[in-house]
């Protein structure tokens, strides 16, 4: 195998990385690559009965459970959930993070999204992108010589521009691992999100039943990218296999990073 990759997946909240790239992360881990999930906030607002420090502690334990089960690293930054702004202070935090981790690839949300924390996470990643190479910016942390490749994770927002993938990856072999990662976030999967969306009464009470329910609940969502981008799957895997893919994750190159060209796709997404 070639030199192991270093993959930095950045989301606004604990569980964002799992939702958008958990299956592909498991593929990288299986290859021996190093994968780090980052939550730019500590998740201290996402619940209907807990909040503040006690909720942040719960969400940290849930992230640690993902680390133990999935073999990824996990960083929770100490910024308040729901209060993120694209400040110079936050940009500096992200510059330091990227320089310290020195990734081959950064995955990011797009800057148009329903949640302000998602939008501002995307904004500060873009603002940090070129600056990571400038020695006199954040000089206490050595600059990178090359801007990493940055790619957006998929979404369904249409305005001002819809998501336009450059690479689509089958996660049929790792979809169970993706569900297991999300299952670790019990406060979200079985409490907050069901309460917020009005289906809390549907959630089973036992762990095994909950896991089955979660897989069924998310099944359609995890099939979206495979169904929307079938042509790209066929181009990648061949006609027969591409048409057989059930679950996929898609990524779009961000022009603020190094180019996600054909050579970069082969190097960074080496799954066949």
Residues 62-120: tens digit of each pLDDT: 999 999 999 999 999 999 999 999 999 999 999 999 999 999 999 999 999 999 999 99
Going edge to edge, which strands form the sheet with 105-108? 73-76, 34-39, 6-11, 105-108, 149-153, 248-253, 167-170
Predicted local confidence at residue 158, as pLDDT: 95
Residues 196, 48: contact at Cβ < 8 Å? yes
CATH of region 6-170+249-268, choose from 3.60.15.10, 3.40.50.620, 3.40.50.10320, 3.60.10.10: 3.40.50.10320
The percentage of the chain sitting over the pLDDT mark of 90, rounded to a whole number, equals 99
Omega of the bond prior to 183 within 30 degrees of 0, cis? no
Looking at residue 248, the DSSP 8-state letter turns out to be E
- When pLDDT is averaged across residues 34-54 and rounded to a whole number, the result is 97
Residues 45, 115: contact at Cβ < 8 Å? no
d(CA 210, CA 179): 11
* Phi, psi angle pair for 19, to nearest 5°: -60, -45
Match 């310290």 to its residue by tokens.
100
Predicted local confidence at residue 209, as pLDDT: 98
- Statement: residue 142 has pLDDT above 90: yes
Q: How far, in Å, are 22, 161, 168, 241 from residue 231 at the CA level?
A: 22, 20, 10, 11
Residues 94, 128: contact at Cβ < 8 Å? yes
Q: How confident is the model at residue 2 (pLDDT cuts 50, 70, 90)?
A: confident
- Statement: residue 172 has pLDDT above 70: yes
Predicted local confidence at residue 272, as pLDDT: 84
Please tell me the number of Cα atoms within 13 Å of 232 on its side-chain side: 18
Burial of 11 from C-beta contacts in 10 A (0-12 / 13-18 / 19+): buried
Q: How confident is the model at residue 157 (pLDDT cuts 50, 70, 90)?
A: very high
- Statement: residue 155 has pLDDT above 70: yes
Q: How confident is the model at residue 1 (pLDDT cuts 50, 70, 90)?
A: low
The mean pLDDT value of the chain amounts to: 97
**Largest Cα–Cα distance of the chain, in whole Å?**
55
**How many DSSP H helices and E strands does the chain contain?**
11, 7
- Statement: residue 202 has pLDDT above 60: yes
Tokens of 137: 């910016």
């Amino acid at each position: 195998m070639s030199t192991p990759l270093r993959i930095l997946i950045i989301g606004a909240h604990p569980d964002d990385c799992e939702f958008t790239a958990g299956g592909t992360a498991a593929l990288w881990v299986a290859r021996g690559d190093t994968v780090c999930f980052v939550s730019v906030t500590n998740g201290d607002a996402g619940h209907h009965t807990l909040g503040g420090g006690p909720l942040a502690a719960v969400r940290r334990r849930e992230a640690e459970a993902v680390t133990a089960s999935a073999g990824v690293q996990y960083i929770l930054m100490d910024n308040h959930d729901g209060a993120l702004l694209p400040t110079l202070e936050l940009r500096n935090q992200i510059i330091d993070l990227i320089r310290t981790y020195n990734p081959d690839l950064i995955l990011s949300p797009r800057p148009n999204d329903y949640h302000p924390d998602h939008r501002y996470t995307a904004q500060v990643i873009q603002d940090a992108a070129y600056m990571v190479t400038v020695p006199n910016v954040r000089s206490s942390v050595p600059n990178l010589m090359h801007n990493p490749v940055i790619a957006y994770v998929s979404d369904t927002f249409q305005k001002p521009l819809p998501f336009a993938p450059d690479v689509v990856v089958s996660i049929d072999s790792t979809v169970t691992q993706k569900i297991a990662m999300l299952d670790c976030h019990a406060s979200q999967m079985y409490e907050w999100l069901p309460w917020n969306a009005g289906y809390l009464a549907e959630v089973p009470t036992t762990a095994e039943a909950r896991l089955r329910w979660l897989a069924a609940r998310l099944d359609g969502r995890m099939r979206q990218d495979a169904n929307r981008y079938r042509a790209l799957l066929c181009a990648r895997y061949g006609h027969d296999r591409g048409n057989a893919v059930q679950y996929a994750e898609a990524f779009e190159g961000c022009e603020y990073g190094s180019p996600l060209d054909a050579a970069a796709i082969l190097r960074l997404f080496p799954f066949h």
